[in-house]
Every structure is written in structure tokens, then in C-alpha cells.
Amino acid sequence: MGERLASIIRDAGESDFDAILRLNLESERFLSPLDRARLQHLHRQAAYHRVALIDGAVAAFLLVLREGADYDSPNYRWFADRYPQFLYIDRVVVDARQQGRRLGAALYRDLFEFARASGVRSVTCEFDVDPPNAASSAFHARLGFREVGEQWIAQGRKKVSLQEARIAAR
């Protein structure tokens, strides 16, 4: 199934923005808010911004930035202050109606290949631990992420686990 899904992963474009904004809104309790202007800015900054399609419709997306991006996220800044080179997963969202189809894992495998091809050995991300996001924790553990730090964000309303997956060279 993974190979079939990989064939429907492609670069995101402006024609996908309505679907991306809808998906982000659906999962906003785990993410930061996103409007069209912010999405356009992040899209321009992104090293990797891809979508997964089911029957021609956007069913998931993954947006990733590299070091040196113009991005004010406290989690991105945490990695920028500590890592000379990295890929930072800003957000990954799978349509709730498409959960269980392994779209997130397919996007991450594609990202890991992109990292290898780019010579980047650290893929980083964060997820909520207070309030907890157990599904994200389990998902990232299965993909080889490990905790490298924690921090409180959103005026002390959220605690995140800062994570890294090491990417082996080819």
C-alpha cells in the first residue's frame, strides 16, 4: 500500500491552499492557526511542502522548513538556536475521514528521502504533551523520533516535546 500512496504525493501549490486551510482548521487544537497570508509566507519559506491525494482530493499535507527560514515559531526558534542544520516539521495534517490509510507515514517516508537527498541528518518536530497528544506521540515514536527537549508555549497553556529523528546517509 505504501508504494501506491507514494505515487499520489506531490508538491503543494496555491491551488491546494483552500484544502490545506480546511485541514489545518480541522486540527487547529494541535496546531497554530493558519490564514491564507500566513500559509503563503510559510509556503514560500518551505523546504518541503507536499500533499497526499485520495481520488484527486487533498487528504493530507506536510509543511517543513530548513534552518535559516524567516519564521517566528518558538518551536522552530528552539531548534534554530541549537542545530546548525535541520528540517523542521511545522505541521502535518491528515483529513479525519482518511485516518488509518497511512498517509502521514507515507509523507514522512517521502520527507526522510528528501532529507537524505539534501544531506540533512536531523528531522525535527514537536507535539503537545500538556495537554497530551498521545496519537502524535505514538506516531512519532514508531518513526524513530526521540525527545531532545521540552518547553512551555502559548503563554504557558501548552507544553511540547521537542523531537528529532536522525537520518542515516545513503
Going by pLDDT thresholds of 50, 70 and 90, the confidence category of residue 99 is confident
Residue 7 pLDDT class (50, 70, 90 cuts): low
Of 39, 35, 37, give the one whose Cα is nearest residue 51.
39
Q: Tell me: pLDDT of 154 over 70.
A: yes
> What pLDDT, on the 0 to 100 scale, is given for residue 29?
74
Q: Which amino acid is at 81?
A: D
**By mean pLDDT, which of 30-34, 112-116, 136-140 is the weakest?**
30-34
User: For the chain, which domains are there?
Assistant: 2-166 (3.40.630.30)
Q: Which residue pairs, CB below 8 angstroms and at least 24 apart, start in 33-39?
A: 34/91
Model pLDDT, residue 1:
43
Alpha carbon of 153 to those of 45, 62, 116: distances in Å?
Answer: 22, 22, 31
Q: What is the mean pLDDT of residues 112-134?
A: 95
- Residues 87 and 123: beta-carbon distance below 8 Å: yes
φ, ψ for residue 91 (rounded to 5)?
-165, 140
pLDDT one-digit tens code per residue, 84-98: 999 999 999 999 999
Write the pLDDT tens digit of every residue in 24-66: 998 877 778 899 999 999 999 999 999 999 989 999 999 999 9
- Pick the range with the lowest mean pLDDT from 6-15, 114-123, 150-159: 6-15
Instruction: Determine how many CB atoms are found less than 10 A away from the CB of residue 46.
Output: 19
CA distance 138 to 114: 23
Per-residue pLDDT at 6 exceeds 60 = no
pLDDT surpasses 50 at 82: yes
Q: Give the strand pairing for 48-54 and 122-130.
A: unpaired
Which helix (H) or strand (E) segment is 129 a member of? strand 122-130
Say what the pTM is. Answer: 0.92
The answer to whether 16 touches 23, Cβ cutoff 8 Å, is no
Q: How many helices (H) and strands (E) does the chain have?
A: 6, 7
**b/e sequence 71-103, b meaning 16+ C-beta within 10 Å:** bebebbebbbeebeebbbbbbbbbbeebeebbb
